[in-house]
Amino acid sequence: MKDPEKPLEAHESDNEKRAEVSRRDFLGTSVVLTAGACVAPILFNKSALASEGAVPGGPISSAVDVTLRVNGTAHALKLEPRVTLLDALREEMQLAGTKKGCDHGQCGACTVLVDGRRTLSCLTLAVMHDGDEITTIEGLAGSDELHPMQAAFIERDAFQCGYCTPGQIMSAVALLREPCGASDDDVRECMSGNICRCGAYPNIVAAVQDVRRSKTT
């Protein structure tokens, strides 16, 4: 076993795995976690510094300036182009309410709103959102105490462990402005991208419908 990543490629049938490994390699390389990155309001991603020392086979550093408008606040950041929006939120802006489940765009835990539309933040690069209006679970209620969807989730016990909940709520809020039909089935269709291992689904449907009904009456 010379190279731990290599044997994977021996499984020719397993194309998907190879695709994922390369995605992890691609995206995983760019986030660097250092103490400094956590405290300064304007953040300099240290991978730029780390890779200046010409790491053999390492990435070429190309940190760029980007301004992310998150929950109404502008964050001026220096980010490598490969940093996902999810990692930028969690690790550069200390907004840990957006959760990382699969990191592959398959579970919905990382859902945020970009200009009002739901977006899987693990599947999009932070630098692509320069100037966009991003809303995360932390900013959803604005100056109110709770967004009606948050209140409905509490009212309906629409969670257990809570890990999928921020993503569920962001999807549900986006759904309110989407052309989603009126029935429970329609809600299920529109919410099918957010999985919940605790199985809080029936209560999630109920919470979403509560909010939709209160809007139309």
Specify the stretch interacting with other proteins by CB under 8 A; choose among 124-132, 175-183, 188-196, 209-217: 188-196
In this chain, which of 111, 203, 206, 212 binds other proteins, going by CB under 8 A?
203
Burial annotation 148-181 (CB, 10 A radius, 16+ → b, else e):
bbbbbbeebebbeeebbbbbbbbbbbbbeeeebe
For 97-110, the DSSP string reads TS--SSSSSSS-TT
CB of 198 to other proteins, least distance (A): 5
User: Which residue number, 30 or 124, has a Cβ lying nearer to other proteins?
Assistant: 30
In this chain, which of 22, 62, 73, 192 binds other proteins, going by CB under 8 A?
192
CB of 68 to other proteins, least distance (A): 17
Residues whose CB is less than 8 angstroms from the CB of residue 58 and which lie 6 or more positions away in sequence, other chains included: 29, 51
Specify the stretch interacting with other proteins by CB under 8 A; choose among 32-40, 62-70, 123-131, 174-182: 32-40
Q: How big is the site for other proteins, counted in residues (CB under 8 A)?
A: 87
Residue corresponding to tokens 């999009």: 124
Structure token digits, residue 114: 């970009």
User: Which residue number, 127 or 164, has a Cβ lying nearer to ligand FES?
Assistant: 164
Residues 92-151 that bind other proteins (CB under 8 A): 94-104, 106-107, 109, 136-138, 140-141, 146, 150-151
Rounded to whole angstroms, the maximal C-alpha distance in the chain is: 66
CB of 56 to other proteins, least distance (A): 8
Asked if 67 and 77 touch (Cβ cutoff 8 Å), the reply is yes
Binding site for ligand FES (CB under 6 A): 100-103, 105-110, 120, 122, 159-165, 196-198, 200
User: Which residue number, 103 or 210, has a Cβ lying nearer to ligand FES?
Assistant: 103
Residues whose CB is less than 8 angstroms from the CB of residue 30 and which lie 6 or more positions away in sequence, other chains included: 45, 47, 59, 80, 81, 82, 83
* Contact call for residue 209 and other proteins (CB under 8 A): no
